[in-house]
Amino acid sequence: MTHTQATDLETTATHKLQLRINATYMRGGTSKGVFFKLDDLPEQAQMPGSYRDSLLLRVIGSPDPFAKHTDGMGGATSSTSKTVILSKSKRENHDVDYLFGQVSIDKPFIDWSGNCGNLTAAVGSFAIENSFIDASRVPHNGVAIVRIWQANISKTIIAHVPITNGEVQETGDFELDGVTFPAAEVKVEFLDPADGEGAVFPTGNLIDILEVPNIGSFSVTMINAGIPSLFIPAEELGFDGTELQDDINSDAELLAKFEIIRAHGALKMGLINNINEAAVRQHTPKIAMVAPAKAYVASSGKQILATDVDINVRALSMGKLHHAMMGTAAVAIGVAAAIPGTTVSLAAGSKNRTEVTFGHPSGTLKVGAQAVGEGSQWQVKAAVMSPSARVLMEGNIRVPSPD
């Protein structure tokens, strides 16, 4: 055997072929991610654990010190570094089980602690097209009702998916700020959206004073609805609520300050046991600043008038100001606006309301909520929003095995 032949054998033994996994690349709301059927994943990845996480990290292209995701399917933003695993539900009165993974861009971890409300709009379409729904429940023309079990937070979500000529309708004239092209509207209902065991206000207060060492004290509404969230008056943070991404994301010191505040909020909400745990729980809670309605120019150049909105909100996701608004955070905004005495309600004028239109960096969004109660004892029956969804690509993901 020649030296060249021996080297070829070594190369063959050392370098494995890539895995080929059936997947669908989808946009839902202002997010996009890689969708998998549970049964299509390698057997080791069909259960939680390090193999699954390593595989999905590699699919997205994380961790990437260059923050580009050049060697993966991610888009190097919190809105585009997402994975979804779906399976036909075995739970009574549900059609599909939906598990969401928020992939860190520059660190080797996936946060499984919360939901992605935007991608929920795509779950219904995926479930229909992959026969998770009995054909008798899909009209030839009309709206199909898809009952989703959100496995991260153990909640029910109802997606109203438009159907035309027996197929999911994805195109249309519905415009969503933060999404370039119009599509078909998908109404999404979040039933009983209080996170965890159902305490809307985990501290028992509508507003808490959050003490953050070496930074300051802040009035904050800590709420579990859609996703655990912290809402702080913008003026207490030195802002007016009309900021765009470059105003925040270009300042590393400021982002670090927001993260420290978020970590102390997570501790006070009981989501973590010590401050250090916040570093690997970046998806929840969300931190946002709220301000009374004020005119501004959105990132697209669109003029937003003070009369167009009830309130301005700017929220951070995975350590950066979001380009629009996370769907689950929109639910939290809607619920907080419906409950008098929260920082959100106060900024919105303290009116009794069942829906709120808020301004975000890309434009505006309307969300409705039904809440009943008094004092700090509230129950949330449902929250409703209308994103859109579309399949971008379907086929096979090619990814090196984590082994």
Q: Is pLDDT of 8 > 80?
A: no
Q: Which residues of 203-233 are buried (b: 16+ CB within 10 A; e: fewer)?
A: beebbbebebeeeeebebbbbbbbbbbbbbb
Contacts of 66 (CB under 8 A, 6+ apart): none
User: 373: pLDDT confidence band, cut at 50, 70 and 90?
Assistant: confident
**Rounded CA gap, 111 and 326, in Å?**
15
232 and 327 fall within a common domain: yes
pTM of the model: 0.91
Evaluate whether 46 touches 39 at the Cβ level (below 8 Å).
yes
Question: Which range among 10-14, 47-51, 157-161, 349-353 shows the weakest confidence by mean pLDDT?
Answer: 10-14
Nearest to 81 by CA among 123, 37, 32: 32
Percent of the chain surpassing pLDDT 90: 89
User: 114: pLDDT confidence band, cut at 50, 70 and 90?
Assistant: very high
Provide the pLDDT for residue 198.
62
Q: Is pLDDT of 13 > 90?
A: no
Q: What is the longest distance spanned by two Cα atoms in the chain?
A: 85
Residue 231, domain extent: 208-384
CATH number of residue 159's parent domain? 3.10.310.10
Give the number of domains in the chain: 2
Of 26, 73, 116, 325, the catalytic one is 116
Average pLDDT score, the chain = 94
DSSP state of 353: -
Chain centroid offset of residue 372 CA = 25
Nearest to 154 by CA among 94, 74, 106: 94
Q: Is pLDDT of 376 > 90?
A: no
Sign of the Cα torsion 44, 81, 150, 155 reads positive
Q: Is residue 200 part of a domain?
A: no
245 and 378 fall within a common domain: yes
326 and 355 fall within a common domain: yes
Q: Is residue 167 part of a domain?
A: yes
Average pLDDT over residues 58-73: 97
Average pLDDT over residues 194-201: 73
Provide the pLDDT for residue 12.
53
Sign of the Cα torsion 282, 346, 296, 28 reads positive
Nearest to 207 by CA among 341, 83, 325, 338: 341
Q: Is 385 known to be catalytic?
A: no
122 and 220 fall within a common domain: no
Provide the pLDDT for residue 197.
59
218 and 73 fall within a common domain: no
Q: Is residue 198 part of a domain?
A: no
User: And the tokens for 325?
Assistant: 């608004």
Provide the pLDDT for residue 377.
84
CA angle 360, 365, 370 (to 5 degrees): 120
DSSP state of 166: T
156 and 212 fall within a common domain: no
323 and 361 fall within a common domain: yes
Provide the pLDDT for residue 181.
97
* pLDDT tens string 244-257: 999 999 999 999 99
Average pLDDT over residues 83-106: 97
Q: Is 26 known to be catalytic?
A: no
Distances (CA, A) of 365 to 64, 156, 235, 313, 362: 32, 22, 22, 10, 9
Q: Is residue 8 part of a domain?
A: no
